[in-house]
Amino acid sequence: MKRLVLILAAWRLFAAAPEVDKVEPPNWWVGNSINPVRLLIHGKDLKGATVKSLQPAVRPGRTQANAAGTYLFVELEIQENARPGPFPLQVVTPEGTATAPFEVLAPLARHGRFQGFSPDDVIYLIMPDRFADGDPTNDDPAVSRGLFDRHKPRYYHGGDFQGIIDHLPYLKDLGVTALWLTPVYDNVNHLNEREKYDGEPITDYHGYGAVDFYGVEEHFGDLALLKKLVDSAHGLGLKVIQDQVANHTGPYHPWATDSPTPTWFNGTVENHLANTWQIWTLADPRAPASLQKSTLEGWFLNILPDLNQNDPLTAQYLIQNTLWWIGSTGIDGIREDTLPYVPRSFWREWMQAIKREYPAFRVVGEMWDEDPALVSFFQGGRAQFDEVDSRVDALFDFPLFGAMRRVFAGKAPAEDLAKVLAHNRLYANPNLLVTFLGSHDTARFRNEANADDLKLAFTFLMTTRGIPMVYYGDEIGMPGGGDPDNRRDFPGGWKEDPRNAFEASGRTPEERAVFEHVRKLMGVRAKLEPLRRGSTLDLVAKDQVYAFARVSGNVAPVVVINTDTKPETVSMETSELPIPPQIVVGNPQGARAWHDALGIAPDAEWRDGRLTVEMPGRTGAVYVIGR
């Protein structure tokens, strides 16, 4: 008995008052669909702590700490009558009391925010570090000194939110309607020694290595500037899509060595599976869970801690984090990284939570595979064999990406485009696929094809079904091989650059030609509703020609693409096109000029039910009736 008293006395001697240094989320809204919200408090000596509120309108519930006493979960119910403003909470143990800062926010303002995206949009992908440097004072911040060097392809180059804000008018003029920024989470403030490039450590300038899911990377700006970016974009009629990652953290996230629950990650730093990328097993009814395990739970590159969405506390943390970013910034959509490596049952729950709070909001998931049968499995809209409907709205069209790259580089017949689109039936909604010619993860198309090939590919991209996406710099035909060469700085984004390709006068003749073509295409797509919303009717699909109509109501622009270097006479049967009868009535000869809305190809002639055109080599046209 005496001994026990001594031990207790010693414990009391060493036990210290609780300390709090972080609360996630730092604030929450009155009237939110998630209520109570579950806070994750970080600090010291939190074991056994209870949480008290000074006002009855905010009611803390049960608490749960980790064994180390460094993390404390507490549910917080926010009553409708809670007054917006600072609402510090008291974290109490027998040893003392700490204050946990928290703020109650007024109900969300929704007008012009959380808009979602659709085929009416053209997305523009920006890596914030590589687009434009609007604020040289954050190039080499005090907290993360030494990560900035424009001569090193995997160091920070100085691009930031202000640079994007400064160039919104450029993007508006180009004709894009939505911006996708690669992740803006706070990434590690020192060199990443676990990845090497040319034998040297790198930086996480790309943003995919979060160390704080509620923080903003200091090289880019802060939360207030991100909000300003979104508001400024909205002011010009541009939407913003945030890149989020729920599959893993960066290698240096503090959770990696001190996790909030024992099952926060799949495995530990010392003992985990490596990812085997076998996505196909996830869509295979015959594959046992043991075969799928390394794909769902394996760590990327064997170093990125894989979050365990089957831990209900992890799942709720991730869901609240997503809702918090949306509500805090006003963004319109999410591009979700590494989608297939997370259980689809989690995505269902996550998507339901998003739509409950933001009904028009949309998500596009990264599901990188060129097999439409596999990609379509991951699109929401219907339950698959496992009875799970992921509810994920959109996916990237990697199958069409692959075909476009081959066809327009002259390595495959034009017919291959139609063959990929023939798989539309596999998707719950093929019109919500995001179509693209390249991204930050692929070599640039200009690297393997000439400017004319690129222009022709853009003609197809901007006229086929789906939501087109343009990778920054592709609109001027920027070159660049695989990562990191595909992430060069946009010329003119830095004051010291020798020329400024954001302005016509700073572009080379080739850049000007590509830019003007892309700009014109976006204008025609905006003007011709069927190019965005119409169904697709194939008219000709053969070795060097692909022709199709986009049909909406009684309007049907006809797109003709000749991938051959020689001119080609293209004759199309049009009996299934909804040509307005008054056109025929007003023209007793039955002949009618169709002209190319792009102003490139000669007129097509419609006679006796056939549309015929003499298409020049390597040319695409969008035919519409009359002038």
Q: Provide the binding-site residues for Ca ion, judged by CB under 5 A.
A: 133, 135, 138-139, 158, 160, 186-187, 189, 247, 306, 341
Q: How far is the CB of 471 from Ca ion (least distance, A)?
A: 21
Q: Which is nearer to Ca ion, 284 or 564 (CB)?
A: 284
Residue 142: both structure tokens together: 């005090």
The pair of structure tokens assigned to 189 is: 């403030």
Per-position DSSP letters for 57-71, written without gaps between them = TEEEEEEEE-TTSSE
Q: Which is nearer to Ca ion, 118 or 266 (CB)?
A: 266
Q: CA–CA separation, 323 vs 331, rounded Å?
A: 10
Among residues 224 and 593, whose Cβ is nearest to Ca ion?
224
Instruction: Check residue 263 and report its DSSP letter.
Output: T
> CB-wise, 308 or 464, nearer to Ca ion?
308
Cα–Cα distance for residue pair 488/150, rounded to 1 Å:
10
Output the smallest distance, CB 249 to Ca ion, in A: 11
In 66-132, beta strands by DSSP E: 71-78, 85-86, 89-93, 96-100, 103-105, 123-126
Q: CB of 231: closest distance to Ca ion in angstroms?
A: 20
* CA pair distance 523, 516, nearest whole angstrom: 10
* DSSP tag of 142: G
C-alpha R_g of the chain: 27
Q: Nearer Cβ to Ca ion, position 488 or 512? A: 488
How far apart are the C-alpha atoms of 436 and 112, rounded to whole Å?
A: 27
CB nearer Ca ion, residue 158 or residue 477: 158
Give the nearest distance from C-beta 296 to Ca ion in angstroms.
Answer: 5
Instruction: Quote the least distance from Cβ 248 to Ca ion, whole Å.
Output: 7
Of the two residues 234 and 344, which places its CB atom closer to Ca ion in the complex? 344
Query: In angstroms, rounded to a whole number, what is the distance separating the alpha carbons of residues 404 and 477?
Result: 16
Q: Report the nearest approach of Ca ion to the CB of residue 247 (Å).
A: 5
From the CB of 275, what's the least distance to Ca ion, in Å?
8
The encoded tokens of residue 170 equal 């450029």
Can you say whether residue 355 is alpha, beta or left, with left for phi > 0 and alpha for psi between -120 and 50 degrees? alpha
Alpha helices in 236-288 (DSSP H): none
Q: What is the b/e burial string over 151-179, where b = at least 16 CB atoms within 10 angstroms of the residue's CB?
A: ebbbbbbbbbbbbbbbbbebbeebbbbbb
How near is the Cβ of 133 to Ca ion at its closest, in Å?
A: 4
Q: CA-to-CA distance for 378 and 433, rounded, in angstroms?
A: 12
Residue 190 or 355: which CB sits closer to Ca ion?
190
* Shortest Å distance, C-beta 212 to Ca ion: 8
Q: In Å, what is the CA distance from 48 to each residue of 63, 66, 67?
A: 8, 10, 10
Taking the least distance from each CB to Ca ion, the nearer of 250 and 260 is 250
